[in-house]
């Protein structure tokens, strides 16, 4: 594949292309404005737009769009063609600086959480020159921020850019105190994406998958993931050809897809990109999810991004690997060979420790969704309790600083495999801990609670802001300190003493941890309905206001959008369930039991001595289960009526979490029991075995 380097980024208007296509002065002005965050001159914008258009047309584009990320969690686009009429009745291809910089989509149907009444439909998109424009399906896509007429933020990109700016500035304050001369500090992110692939024809037969993204019914397959033979297993030919195609599409867009492997559950896979700056990392993850679905279609597959497509096997998550790096590429979470002497590293580490402890509620909110509720705490993903894994070495270092004792480095040495032909390999300073929600993994943090379908923006907005807050407090202390060294020592000791309760290096999936965490006073927000109200806690509103990320109204609107979404998702799932039960499952059961009864009667009329024990018992069992299913169906219908009467959104969400979900479970149980006794000829849907293994 020698052509990969040429292919990589060929659909991106990146720095190389800009240098090539833009007049030198325009290129320089654009660069300067990106680096300093200055506003662009309209003449420069016109020149950039023109070059972009010519480049895009050369690559086959006919349209352009402002590509933005409203609060729906997915991306939005409205395509305009480049054509402009001419006097002689023809057209020319045109793209102005004005169209590049600003768009005005009629955005009244996108969620605003009460920030904007429907009659105030104006929404604006504004070019984000820090993320490159790209071509997707003959359309030049321009990454943009999205706000309302009166300037309220309506998207996920604007607060993300703000949070990156804030953490960059606060990190610079700290670095300055350590005598470091750097121009900028950026956050970096690499999002590992899990997904399922199933056969498209089977997918088409299940309205639960089509409408809800997950199966609402399905008896356990005789084989699931118990043999542990799928993880890192041989990749099936069909899947491999999907992955090859996917890599190619992503590479063209400059997305550095790096690792692809099978995950734990049958049919489950993962893709990890090489990390990049957070803003671009978020855009890339959105594109990756979109392109996964499209490429799957080409291979007659369906790509499932839901957090829990199948009960009984692992669901899918997304690991948000996060770090801070200087413009010179130095990673601020690189501990070096002797972290015990690396005070700068320890200060940054302590900022994260304190931030995660004080704002555990916000981090939990950032991953809250109806889909993710199925995973967290289910022995396949971290629990809903936030804690940090630091490993023994760093924990010991912090402990010794708190106690004022000398730290003795433990020698880790090499691993000796015992077979002389295999070279000795150096041992890492600590083992991995796969059960921790927030793990320090050598030179970065890995936040593992995100759901697979989520936008990573929310998490990164919050992570950046909470760490920025702690860095700002530390910087203020250090700037005022008379004895700098001593104050560093005090900050580390204070932080460890007050926040060590958030450190947990043990098994996060165990029930002992749940108990211990409760004793330590850590939050355990089991579901979305419990978590979301904390978004609006006064301390959190104060934090967002202080750093100019969100106003109070913007926090409230976001909270409303999330709560509303939770209720809507569960309502759609309930209605889909009811539809499937009433129109497919119960009729199939009745048809089958009728067939059994007729068979029994026929046998009897043939010869009265013939035993019809089997037919009779099975018919009775099916009838009993049908009755149970029917009663649960009625209960679910009643629950939904009751929910409609609850006017308070938060209360309504709680009702769904506590009551509706339980009824949905009962409906499912009865239907799944029926699936195991009704003939496969009558059962209306492909089974778990087919969905997970027939590919």
DSSP 423: P
| From ligand ADP, Mg ion, none, interface partner of 187 (C-beta below 5 to 8 A by class) | none
- Least Å distance, CB 190 to Mg ion, is 9
3-state secondary structure labels for all residues of 182-248 = CCCEEEEEEEEEEEEEEEHHHHHCCHHHHHHCCCCCCCCCCCCCCCCCCCCCCCCHHHHHHHHHHHH
d(CA 523, CA 530): 11
From the number of C-beta atoms within 10 Å of its C-beta (0-12, 13-18, 19+), residue 1 rates as exposed
Quick one: 321 or 527, whose CB is closer to ligand ADP? 321
Q: What is the dihedral of CA 259, 262, 265, 271, to 10 degrees?
A: 20
Shortest Cβ 285–ligand ADP spacing (Å):
10
User: Which residues does residue 269 pair with via DSSP β-bridges, in sequence order?
Assistant: 195, 262
C-beta of 97 vs 317, nearer to Mg ion = 317
Q: How far is the CB of 444 from ligand ADP (least distance, A)?
A: 4
Q: Count of residues for the chain?
A: 695
Shortest spacing between CB 194 and ligand ADP, in angstroms: 12
Using CB under 5 A as the binding rule, whether residue 444 contacts Mg ion is answered as no
Hey, is 614 helix, strand or coil?
helix
Work out what residue 190 binds among ligand ADP, Mg ion, none; the CB cut-off runs from 5 to 8 Å by kind.
Answer: ligand ADP
Host H or E run for residue 432: none
Residue closest to ligand ADP, measured at CB: 190
| 4 touches, from Mg ion, ligand ADP, none (C-beta below 5 to 8 Å by class) | none
Q: Cα separation of 510 and 43, whole Å?
A: 62
Site string for Mg ion, 272-311 (x = CB under 5 A): ----------------------------------------
Nearer Cβ to Mg ion (21/319): 319
Choose among ligand ADP, Mg ion, none what residue 444 binds, the Cβ cut-off being 5 to 8 Å by kind. Answer: ligand ADP
Of residues 189 and 468, the one with the C-beta less far from ligand ADP: 189
Q: Which does 541 bind (CB under 5 to 8 A by kind): ligand ADP, Mg ion, none?
A: none
Give 189 or 660: the residue with its C-beta nearer to ligand ADP. Answer: 189
- With 0-12 CB in 10 A as exposed, 13-18 as middle and 19+ as buried, what is 419? exposed
Please say which residue, 370 or 388, places its beta carbon nearer to ligand ADP. 388
- From residue 158, alpha-carbon distances to 148, 154, 279, 379, 695 in Å are 12, 8, 10, 35, 41
Quick one: what does residue 383 bind among Mg ion, ligand ADP, none, with the CB cut-off 5 to 8 Å set by partner type?
none
Q: Which stretch binds Mg ion (CB under 5 A): 9-17, 143-151, 171-179, 315-323?
A: 315-323
Which positions ≥6 away from 576 have C-beta within 8 Å? Answer: 207, 208, 211, 212, 216
Q: Least CB distance from residue 81 to Mg ion, whole Å?
A: 42
- CB closer to ligand ADP, 326 vs 369: 326
C-alpha 431/C-alpha 660 separation (Å) is 42
Q: Would you say 274 or 572 has its CB closer to ligand ADP? A: 274
Which tokens belong to 107?
Answer: 């955005």
For ligand ADP, which is the closer residue by CB, 348 or 656? Answer: 348
Q: Could you give the CA distance from residue 35 to residue 183 in angstroms, rounded to a whole number?
A: 10
Residues contributing to the site for ligand ADP (CB under 6 A) = 188-190, 192, 272-275, 321-323, 331, 441, 443-444
Estimate the crossing angle of helix 613-644 against helix 552-580, to 10 degrees. Answer: 150
Which of ligand ADP, Mg ion, none interacts with 655 (beta carbon under 5 to 8 A by kind)?
none
Q: CB 167 → ligand ADP: shortest distance, Å?
A: 13
Min. distance of Cβ 593 from Mg ion in angstroms? Answer: 49
**Least distance between Mg ion and beta carbon 192 (Å):** 5
Nearby residues of 194 by Cβ (< 8 Å), 6 or more positions away: 263, 268, 269, 270, 316, 317, 318, 452
Rank residues 323 and 495 by Cβ distance to ligand ADP and give the closer one: 323
What is d(CA 317, CA 453) in angstroms, rounded to the nearest whole number? 8
Q: Which two tokens stand for residue 30?
A: 């654009």
| Measured distance CA(158)–CA(162) in Å, rounded | 6
> Does residue 319 belong to the site contacting Mg ion (CB under 5 A)?
yes
Among ligand ADP, Mg ion, none, what binds residue 322 when CB lies within 5 to 8 Å by partner kind?
ligand ADP
For residues 56 and 132, what is the distance between their CA atoms, to the nearest angstrom?
A: 13
State the Cα torsion 433-434-439-444 to the nearest 10°.
100
Of 139 and 321, CB closest to ligand ADP:
321
x-marked contacts with Mg ion along 171-200 as a string, rule CB under 5 A: ---------------------x--------
* Exposed/middle/buried for residue 464 (C-beta within 10 Å: 0-12, 13-18, 19+): buried
Number of residues that bind Mg ion (CB under 5 A): 2
Smallest distance from the beta carbon of 274 to ligand ADP, in angstroms? Answer: 5
Residue with the CB atom nearest Mg ion in the bound state? 319
215 binds, among ligand ADP, Mg ion, none (CB under 5 to 8 A by kind): none
CB of 363 to ligand ADP, least distance (A): 17
Q: Decide whether 284 or 319 has the Cβ nearer to Mg ion.
A: 319
Q: Least distance from C-beta 450 to Mg ion, angstroms? A: 11
**Residues interacting with Mg ion, by CB under 5 A?**
192, 319
């Amino acid at each position: 594949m020698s052509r990969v380097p040429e292919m990589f980024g060929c659909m991106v208007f990146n720095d190389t292309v800009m240098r090539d296509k833009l007049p030198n002065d325009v290129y320089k002005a654009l660069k300067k404005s990106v680096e300093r965050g200055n506003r662009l001159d309209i003449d420069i914008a016109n020149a950039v737009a023109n070059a972009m258009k010519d480049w895009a047309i050369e690559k086959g584009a006919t349209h352009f769009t402002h590509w933005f990320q409203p609060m729906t969690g997915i991306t939005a686009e409205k395509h305009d063609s480049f054509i402009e009429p001419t006097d002689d009745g023809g057209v020319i291809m045109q793209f102005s600086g004005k169209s590049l910089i600003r768009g005005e989509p009629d955005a009244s149907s996108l969620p605003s959480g009460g920030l904007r009444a429907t009659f105030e439909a104006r929404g604006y998109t504004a070019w984000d020159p820090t993320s490159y424009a790209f071509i997707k399906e003959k359309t030049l896509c321009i990454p943009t921020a999205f706000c309302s007429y009166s300037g309220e933020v309506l998207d996920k990109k604007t607060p993300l850019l703000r949070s990156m700016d804030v953490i960059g500035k606060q990190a610079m304050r700290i670095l300055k105190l350590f005598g470091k001369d750097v121009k900028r500090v950026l956050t970096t992110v690499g999002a590992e994406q899990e997904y399922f692939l199933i056969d498209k024809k089977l997918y088409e037969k299940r309205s639960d998958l089509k409408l809800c993204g997950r199966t609402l019914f399905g008896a356990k397959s005789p084989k699931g993931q118990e043999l542990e033979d799928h993880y890192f297993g041989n990749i099936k030919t069909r899947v491999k050809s999907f992955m090859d195609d996917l890599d190619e599409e992503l590479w063209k867009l400059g997305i550095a897809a790096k690792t692809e492997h099978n995950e734990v559950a049958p049919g489950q896979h993962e893709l990890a990109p090489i990390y990049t700056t957070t803003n671009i990392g978020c855009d890339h993850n959105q594109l990756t999810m979109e392109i996964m679905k499209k490429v799957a279609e080409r291979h007659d597959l369906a790509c499932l991004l839901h957090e829990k497509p199948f009960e009984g096997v692992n669901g899918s998550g997304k690991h948000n690997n996060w770090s801070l790096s200087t413009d010179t590429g130095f990673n601020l979470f690189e501990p070096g060979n002797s972290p015990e002497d690396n005070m700068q590293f320890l200060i940054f580490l302590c900022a994260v420790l304190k931030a995660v402890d004080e704002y555990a509620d916000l981090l939990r909110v950032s991953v809250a969704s109806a889909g993710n509720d199925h995973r967290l705490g289910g022995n396949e993903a971290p629990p809903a309790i936030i804690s940090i894994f630091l490993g023994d070495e760093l924990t010991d270092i912090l402990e010794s600083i708190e106690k004022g004792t000398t730290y003795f480095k433990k020698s880790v040495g090499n691993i000796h495999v015992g077979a002389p032909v295999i070279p000795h390999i150096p041992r890492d300073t600590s083992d991995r801990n796969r059960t921790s929600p927030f793990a320090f993994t050598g030179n970065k943090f890995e936040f593992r609670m995100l759901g697979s379908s989520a936008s990573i923006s929310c998490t990164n907005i919050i992570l950046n802001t909470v760490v920025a807050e702690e860095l700002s407090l530390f910087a203020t202390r250090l700037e005022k300190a008379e004895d700098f060294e001593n104050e560093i020592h005090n900050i580390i000791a204070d932080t460890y003493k007050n926040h060590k309760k958030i450190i947990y290096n043990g098994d996060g999936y165990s029930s002992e941890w749940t108990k211990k965490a409760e004793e330590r006073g850590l939050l355990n927000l089991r579901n979305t309905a419990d978590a979301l109200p904390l978004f609006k806690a006064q301390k959190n509103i104060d934090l967002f206001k202080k750093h100019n990320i969100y106003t109070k109204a913007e926090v409230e609107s976001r909270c409303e959008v999330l709560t509303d979404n939770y209720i809507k998702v569960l309502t759609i799932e309930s209605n889909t369930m009811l539809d499937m039960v009433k129109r497919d499952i119960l009729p199939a059961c009745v048809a089958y039991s009728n067939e059994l009864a007729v068979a029994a009667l026929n046998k009897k009329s043939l010869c009265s001595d013939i035993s019809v024990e089997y037919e009779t018992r099975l018919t009775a069992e099916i009838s009993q289960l049908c009755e149970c299913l029917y009663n649960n169906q009625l209960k679910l219908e009643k629950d939904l009526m009751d929910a409609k009467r609850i006017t308070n959104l938060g209360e309504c969400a709680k009702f769904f979490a506590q009551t509706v979900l339980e009824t949905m479970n009962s409906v499912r149980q009865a239907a799944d029991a029926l699936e195991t006794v009704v003939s496969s000829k009558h059962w209306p849907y492909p089974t778990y075995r087919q969905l997970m293994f027939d590919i």
